[in-house]
A and B are shown apart, each in its own frame.
Chain A
Amino acid sequence: MSSAAVQTATPTQPTGKASRTKPADSDRSRAENSLGRKLVAPAIVLMLLVTAFPMLRALYLSLFQYSLTAPEERSFVGVDNYVTALTDPLFWQTTANTVGIMVITVAFELVIGFAFAMVMHRVIFARGVIRTSILIPYGIITVVSGFAWQFAFSNTNGFVNSWLPFLGDDFNWFASYESSMIAIMVSEIWKTTPFMSLLLLAGLAQVSEDMIEAAKVDGATWFQRLFKVILPNMRAAIMVAVLFRALDAYRIFDNIFVMTAGANGTSSISFLTYRQVIEQFQLGIGSALSVLLFLSVLVVAFVIVKVFRVDLASARQER
């Protein structure tokens, strides 16, 4: 497929770089323009078709009282659904859960992931084995890891209780809010720390060894080298990793569905939205929750980008 593309591209563009530095003649740049657009068109159309269009439809549906169990009674209610959602303590409870899970899991992942990355960066032997193993949690279906941890924490067939001496064998992790949340977060941290450590490893590889050596010669301690040389120089990689993982954690759904199904108030915003739409068939209020979920993700992304001054362009080495 791309062969045809190149054949048409070749005559119009002798060297990729030349046309970028000097303003090419208008015919050539016009041809390049139109070819470029044709090539990205399928991707753009598909992405917008499955996201932008449904999102607009959700925005529209959120203004209606609309239940699939009684589709005839659909009626326009304006912002009532939003008022209902935003004044319901359950909404704020799930938001607090989601933010809590995001902050705590990303913090743990960052520390543990960095430790793993340091080991992987320096390791000489068994490199292949470690890299392969670290991909296993990444590759495993989240639902499966949820089950594995649910059974591990179970007081009838799990091993966690027998491995933790300060707990009785019959301690029920899924009986209270706090312990259920711990179980959920453990499964999330287990599954995604390897991904974090791979991103941090790539960042570590970009820190120049000369600088670390120079600091060593100047008598900097291990901690000084870590905090004054290594971490500042891989800031961009850390920030991108945090941004990606935070937004991913904010969408948490699979583990909660499998491990607690929202029992003891452990629901996340994603889970609450799913419940309203798919289980209760409440498309009106469900759509309002969908819109709120989308907006809150935007807010989280904005806050992270602004507060931590994430520079995506430089992190991706565009400039």
Chain B
Amino acid sequence: MKNRIGMVVGIVLILLWCLLPVAWIISLSLKSQDSITNGNPGFLPADGTFAGFANYSDVLADDQFRRAIFNSIGISLIATTLSVIIATLAAYAIARLEFKGKKFVLTTALVIAMFPVVSLVGPLFDMWRTLGIYDTWPGLIIPYMSFTLPLAIWTLSAFFREIPWEMEQAAQVDGATSWQAFRKVIVPLAAPGVFTAAILTFFFAWNDFVFGISLTSTEAARPIPAALSFFVGPDPFNRPASLLAAAAVVATVPIIVIVLLFQRKIVAGLTSGAVKG
């Protein structure tokens, strides 16, 4: 009985921890501008001011914000696709083949996963300007790919190691061509791992801030986190809190949807990538 109460308390605490700031920012996004400038230090929107829905229509009507969302979706999706394809090749080789240089690949991936991103923005800033890809989509896609590869390679090679590759031969013995054996046996087994790696990669690209502010200067390529931080409104000393909160909620919705849909896969991928490798 004592255990049961402790468990319930624990669950409540975890849920509060995870959801409190989210509830707070939603509440903030629903407050009217006036109530915030006049000081309204409460958790819930006071005196029924659900007039805050105007914040959402204002944000969605903002061209720069819409452009940033478009940039983020495009850049993250392209980087994710390319990164997962390249990581799949590498992870397949690591899980299934014996070759010299395997250790080098794993070590490089490990070092890059720990790399301080900021120490690269200077040289990249300089190089990208010379190459003419500063402030363009490729200028962000390339660094995103390179920095998501380690996570994708680890997650995928952990998954691939679990695949019973002998089944492929078994299918061939049963009369399947090697292509059929691969497509009917290995692809269905590998697909969940590839998909998980793709989700984690997408998270990384969507969340990046350092590259986003350093390697862009206009709305041509500026992704959503950078756009949020530049969203100062008319008075630079008083950020328009409720508008910003509404924009933040809009930017967070895609992530929450992904989390809700693929919770099981994300947990499996995160833990296998980091702990089981």
A61 and B14 within 8 A (CB): no
Q: In the complex, which of the residues A15, A43, A58, A290 has the most CB atoms of chain B within 10 Å of its own CB atom?
A: A43
B92 and A290 within 8 A (CB): no
> B78 interface residue, CB < 8 Å from A?
no
Taking the nearest CB of chain B, how far is it from the CB of A71, in angstroms? 10
> B18 interface residue, CB < 8 Å from A?
yes
Q: Which residues from B are CB-within-8-Å of A120?
A: 14
With an 8 Å Cβ cutoff, the count of chain B residues facing the other chain is: 109
B118 and A293 within 8 A (CB): yes
Q: Which of A132-164 contact B (CB under 8 A)?
A: 132-145, 147-149, 151-152, 154-159, 161-163
Q: Which of A42, A58, A194, A274 contacts B214 (CB 8 A)?
A: A274
B228 and A147 within 8 A (CB): yes
Shortest Cβ distance from B194 into A: residue: A2
Interface of A, secondary structure class, is helix
Q: Which of B13, B25, B119, B274 contacts A293 (CB 8 A)?
A: B119
Kindly state the separation between the CA atoms of A142 and B178 in the bound complex, as whole angstroms: 46
A35 and B99 within 8 A (CB): yes
A54 and B120 contact, Cβ closer than 8 Å, known pairs A7-B182, A254-B209: yes
> A9 interface residue, CB < 8 Å from B?
yes
Q: Which residues from A are CB-within-8-Å of B153?
A: 43
Kindly state the separation between the CA atoms of A142 and B117 in the bound complex, as whole angstroms: 15
Kindly state the separation between the CA atoms of A145 and B229 in the bound complex, as whole angstroms: 12
Q: Which residues from A are CB-within-8-Å of B179?
A: 3, 7
Residue-wise interface mask of A (241-271) relative to B, using a CB-CB cutoff of 8 A (1 in contact, 0 not): 1001001001101100110000000000111
A297 and B116 within 8 A (CB): yes
Q: Which residues from B are CB-within-8-Å of A26?
A: none
Total number of residue pairs linking A and B with CB closer than 8 Å: 348
B248 and A47 within 8 A (CB): no
A251 and B89 within 8 A (CB): no
Q: For chain A, which range describes its interface: under 10, 10 to 19, 20 to 34, or 35 or more residues?
A: 35 or more
Stretch at the interface among A78-86, A123-131, A176-184: A123-131
A273 and B263 contact, Cβ closer than 8 Å, known pairs A32-B99, A156-B41, A169-B41: no
Shortest Cβ distance from A140 into B: residue: B252
A159 and B101 within 8 A (CB): no
A247 and B114 contact, Cβ closer than 8 Å, known pairs A148-B248, A253-B210: yes
A151 and B241 contact, Cβ closer than 8 Å, known pairs A140-B22, A290-B122: yes
> What are 13 contact pairs spanning A and B, CB under 8 A?
A16-B96, A39-B97, A43-B89, A50-B145, A51-B120, A57-B126, A141-B207, A141-B248, A142-B207, A190-B17, A237-B275, A277-B122, A278-B122
Which A positions have Cβ atoms within 8 angstroms of B? 1-3, 5-7, 9-10, 13-16, 19-20, 29, 32-37, 39-40, 42-44, 46-51, 54-55, 57-58, 61, 112, 115-116, 118-120, 122-123, 126, 128-145, 147-149, 151-152, 154-159, 161-163, 169, 190, 193-195, 198-199, 201-203, 237, 240-241, 244, 247, 250-251, 253-254, 257-258, 269-271, 273-274, 277-278, 283, 286-287, 289-291, 293-294, 297, 301, 312, 315-318
